[in-house]
Amino acid sequence: MNSGLQPLRGPSDKSRLLLPTDLVKKHILPHWDESRIKNGVLVSVWDFDTKFEYQLKFKQWPSNGSYVLIGNWIRDFVERRGLKVADEIGLYWDQSNSRFSFSLLKKASSN
């Protein structure tokens, strides 16, 4: 699943990555028991480029049905990797390793 970077900051320095709902339904939910996601489930996120693994929570917001990865998204990915809005990332559910895989596909132009 490719997505533009859409980080959202919330209270208490938590951070979130908003995932495109249509792509989550098409590519991720077929591998999950959807009832687990509503309450949130701790998942591993493998940074394919740097070979580090992080823990985030995969959750569906009850208010609007959006899907998010919550936790330390800003610290573990945005700040550590120097990501900027409009960078293109790839994120998919790696069923064989039971984790999300993340990759920076394209840096946004700095102009």
Averaged pLDDT, 75-84:
90
pLDDT, greater one: 91 or 3 = 91
CATH number at 2-106: 2.40.330.10
Residue pLDDT, tens place only, 59-75: 998 888 889 999 998 88
Q: Is the pLDDT of residue 3 over 50?
A: no
CA distance 23 to 81: 24
pLDDT class for 111, splitting at 50, 70, 90? low
The pLDDT score that the predictor gives to residue 33 is: 80
CA distance 106 to 102: 12
Q: 70 pairs with which residues across the strands?
A: 16, 57
Taking phi over 0 as left and psi of -120 to 50 as alpha, with beta for the rest, 106 belongs to beta
Q: Is the pLDDT of residue 51 over 90?
A: yes
Q: Is the pLDDT of residue 93 over 70?
A: yes
Element (DSSP H or E) covering residue 57: strand 52-60
pLDDT, greater one: 31 or 46 = 46
**What are the residue ranges spanned by the domains of the chain?**
2-106
Contact 1/89 with Cβ under 8 angstroms? no
- 25-58 burial, b at 16+ Cβ within 10 Å, e below that, comes to eeebbeeeeeeebeeeeebebbbeeeeeebebbb
